[in-house]
A and B are shown apart, each in its own frame.
Chain A
Amino acid sequence: MSRRPWLSLKLRTLFDRRRLGRELADELAAHVEMETEAGVARGLSPREARRRALASFGGVERIREETRDQWSFRWLDDLVLDLRHAARSFAHSPLFTLVAVATLALGIGAATSIFSVLDAVLWTPPPFSEPERLAMVWETDRATGTVREPASVPDFLDLEARSRRFDELAAFQGRQVTLTAPEGQPRRLAALAVTQDFLGMAGVAPRLGRGFEPADDRPGAAPVAWLGEHLWRTGYGGEAGIVGRRVEFDGVPHTVAGVIPAEADFGFRQILGRAAYQRSFGEGGSERVAVWLPLAPDPEASPRQTHPIFVLGRLAPGANARQAQEEVDSIMAELEREYPENLHRGAFVEPLADVVLEPVRPALWLLLGVVALVLLIAWVNVASLLLARSAARSQEVAVRTALGAGTRRLARQFLVEGLLLASLAGVLGIGVAALALPPLLTLVPQELAPRLGEVGLDGGVLLASLAVVASVGLAFGAVPWLEARRGGPFGALSGGSARGATAGPAAARLRGALVVAELALAVTLVVGAGLLVRSFLHVTAVDLGFDTAQVLKAEVQLPASRYPRDFATWPDWPEIQGFHEAVLTRVRALPGVERAALAGAHPLAAGFTNSFVIEGREGEAAGQPEIAIRQVSPGYFRTVGVAVAAGRPFTEADTKDSVPVAAINLAAARRFFPEDEPLGQRIGIWGVFREIVAVVGDERFHGPEAETAPAVYLPQRQAPAWNLSLLARTDEDPAQLAASVRAAVHEVDPALAVFGLETLDSAFARTVAKPRLLATLVGLFAAVALLLALVGIHGVLAYTVAQRRREMGIRMALGAARGDVVGLVFRDGLRFTLLGLALGLLCALALSRSVDSLLFEVRPTDPTTLAVVAGSVLTTALLASLLPALQATRVDPARTLQGE
């Protein structure tokens, strides 16, 4: 048999004690037998020999136990001992333990949850192959200065043909389709129409069935569709038999050609959201792309002056975005020369990552910064607590050192304590994060996080948190050890703690510095929170130009199959007009409805734009930007509460047979009729000149933060829309109306999907979700941070009072009034507060510049906010100093002096 090396012995000691025990029993038994044999050989009887053998051996059981005791890892035993000691000492000071663990847990929990979000959003790459080579090719309009406009179909085809820097180009378009299921109500789904190159370019293969083929992408091809994975699983049970089945979208049977995996739906909502003219993509339905359709770009149906599609390209190997931009610029310049419709049209190449992440980055970095600050504060707080504790334990340390504990052993003890504390806090913190993450995510608006569904506590994040925990533990372990070392064993042993042990003044200064640092950090956070809160308040205070309370909206889209729109007979579309009448009559008849109206886009939807011309100023038309078109029914303005500044609103008399009329908003009046009177002038839209009969107030349909856009309103009877928003004003709770409104619509057309059914209030709330979230989160963290800092101040001052009890006793015995003693403590508190405040304000001023992009109508150096923060921090900090100050007055001089 071979020699058993030492390592294998240690392993066996750890894992195979049973066998070692058996071997030991054999070994001991063999010894006794051999001793017995020797006795027999000397002439004893076997029984006598055995008795003597056992006697000279000593107690076998005891020997066995002693031997087993030798099987150990010394360091493991020591560790267990240290842990038990640490646990005991923590149990003896429960308040300290509670505060320390809670503080750390808070910081770690916050850090972990934010790390998780950042991990999924910023650091995980999208699922496309080589996503860094993908870029959006937006069109731009030099006249309006917009840079993220959709493109026209002929432009796309020309770019495809002429570009070398782009390997491939594909186009896509966000749409909404109605799925008429065999049972249940018709559903509104988000769809993405793409050209046949699209999936291949992105590097996405269908989960089931076949991919797009050129034949699908031709105008007039047989209708095919691909289901998004989520819809396939939830709506069709994830069956493979879906391929080849017929599903009805918008009344047209489509053959299902395959299933597209869920990962292919990357950030389209965000991309379309960044476009200058947003369509309501998936607003009423699910956020995911439920249906993929062939785009079938048709230059005949979609001529160069309309811009309905978005273009995505893959850069050729060796080409970068800058080169692509130059090439695209020159191509667009060529097209501008060749085609008058392309006047002022340019292009903007933007890498896909920037498109999706750019609006989100500032907010996310802010969150990271905030979390770092909170973690830092928690860290400092606990360090301060441990310092205080170590000073109180300096006697214990001194005794142990005198009894022979080496400094290394002591250091290990403190290290274990620190790690134990940190581990407890870490476990708690991660638990808190796991619990807090789901509700936190519901607060986060979709645009802020492209792939919110993928956020979870993953391994990388946990590892990072554990690293934080470990560093905290190590640092905390080091602090009391250093403190104890400086004190030295004899210093603490000889005097009482009141005689200013050598560790005393240094520790007090360090703690004071820590508290000032804490306060400074907290002030920074509070200033940040203040700015964000003010910003949010400003956003919500903006006058939208219409009422959001009391107004319910519902959206429908009339399918071409049942509501034909023949542009030859426009605006005489009986089915569509008939629908308008029927629905409005029914809804107006509902109890509780004051007024109702229809619009092509509801007041919080951007709608679309078109070119126009002012009669008598045709020459300017070329240089004008497009204007927003709002198609509304009579009574719209009163229904949503838009003021009519001049002229008359539309009436029932404005029909397809009467004089064509239009209304413009104040922004349009200012922009296009700065000098003269718009009323009575004529404006040409879609080839028809209309008399301007009213000037109405601005509706902020791009949201409260954007500028008001010029718009022209057309009466529905003269310019009917088939994508409609129904708006109903009620004096009761609008949400109650929802069911009856839906029923009313279904009375007119049961196969029509009603979506986006909500009050304008809740639609608006979604618009301001991002500033609300930031203000809430940062406010929360700031409040916690301030609380921690105040606790820190209180702790330091209380400690000082305890330390200087003797000094105060002497002072009072020598005739100092209680007020003087209070003043002493108070002065200390004031000093910390002022220092911390000053430092914090400076920090805040330095850092606030970086959050400028997140603020609305608030300067980063806003003096009101700074003043309010300074005032409140001063007040609360002084209050926190009050308690220990008052406690100082309770010192009984006689007793204190006696205690010496």
Chain B
Amino acid sequence: MAGTRDILQGTLDLLILKALSLGPMYGWGIAQRLHRLSGEELTVNQGSLYPSLHRLEQRGWIEAEWGTSESQRRVKVYALTGRGAKALETEEGGWRQFIRAVERLLSAEPVEGAS
């Protein structure tokens, strides 16, 4: 699949939170959602979802219950909690700030006579 990139584990948490903010979903479905929502640009290393999901669950930012998928399979469905929603806001803000800073850095042009 051309044009895809792996992304850092650290930001995976943020992305999962965002994905779940759109509605509860199980693990495989989250991977699909991320792929779709990013305009097919990002492919998550599928296995690495799970450590993140469980870590977020342990922190109380998401919670899970067992349910059934459309294909009648037993799946563990995750959903965002109130605390998770707040954390998402904070993380999102920090991430955007970071992006702006990197953007500024990358668009710095060499100036004549300056060091």
Contact = CB atoms under 8 A, between A and B. Distances in A.
A9 B47 CA distance: 22
A37 interface: yes
B63 interface: yes
Given A60-B47, A71-B58, A34 B73 contact: yes
B47 A6 contact: no
Contacts of A57: 46-47
A5 interface: yes
Contacts of B53: 67
Contacts of B58: 9-10, 13, 70-72
A63 B47 contact: yes
A731 to B, nearest CB: 88
A30 B66 contact: no
Interface size class, chain B: 20 to 34
Interface size class, chain A: 20 to 34
Contacts of A4: 63-65
Contacts of B66: 1, 23
Interface in A234-284: none
A71 B46 contact: no
A56 interface: yes
A33 B48 CA distance: 17
A37 B69 CA distance: 13
Contact of A1 (B47, B55, B67, B73): B67
A28 B50 contact: yes
A675 interface: no
A853 interface: no
A27 B73 contact: no
A812 to B, nearest CB: 55
A2 interface: yes
A35 interface: yes
A35 B69 CA distance: 13
B71 interface: yes
Contact of A6 (B28, B60, B65): B60
Contacts, number: 80
B5 to A, nearest CB: 15
Given A58-B47, A70-B55, A37 B71 contact: yes
A67 B28 contact: no
Contact of B74 (A6, A26, A37, A63): A26
Contact of B76 (A13, A23, A62): A23
Given A1-B67, A70-B58, A35 B28 contact: yes
A33 B73 CA distance: 10
A56 B46 contact: yes
A676 interface: no
Interface string A755-784: 000000000000000000000000000000
Interface in B15-58: 26-28, 45-48, 50-51, 53-55, 57-58
A69 B51 contact: yes
A804 to B, nearest CB: 50
B69 A5 contact: no
A396 to B, nearest CB: 30
Contacts of B65: 1-4
Nearest to B56: A70
B57 A9 contact: yes
Nearest to A37: B71
Contacts of B67: 1
B14 interface: no
Interface in A32-85: 33-35, 37, 56-60, 62-63, 66-67, 69-72
A846 B73 CA distance: 84
Interface of B: 26-28, 45-48, 50-51, 53-55, 57-58, 60, 63-67, 69, 71, 73-76, 79, 81
Interface of A: 1-6, 9-10, 13, 23-24, 26-28, 30-31, 33-35, 37, 56-60, 62-63, 66-67, 69-72
30 contacts: A1-B65, A3-B65, A3-B79, A6-B60, A9-B57, A10-B58, A13-B58, A23-B76, A26-B74, A26-B76, A27-B50, A30-B74, A31-B27, A31-B28, A31-B46, A31-B50, A33-B73, A34-B71, A56-B45, A56-B46, A58-B47, A58-B48, A63-B48, A66-B48, A67-B51, A67-B54, A69-B51, A70-B54, A70-B55, A71-B54
Given A10-B58, A30-B76, 13 more contacts: A4-B63, A9-B57, A27-B50, A28-B47, A28-B50, A30-B73, A34-B71, A35-B28, A58-B48, A63-B51, A66-B50, A71-B54, A72-B58
Would you list the 10 A-B pairs with minimal beta carbon distance, nearest first? A58-B47, A63-B47, A70-B55, A6-B60, A70-B54, A66-B51, A34-B28, A57-B47, A31-B28, A67-B50
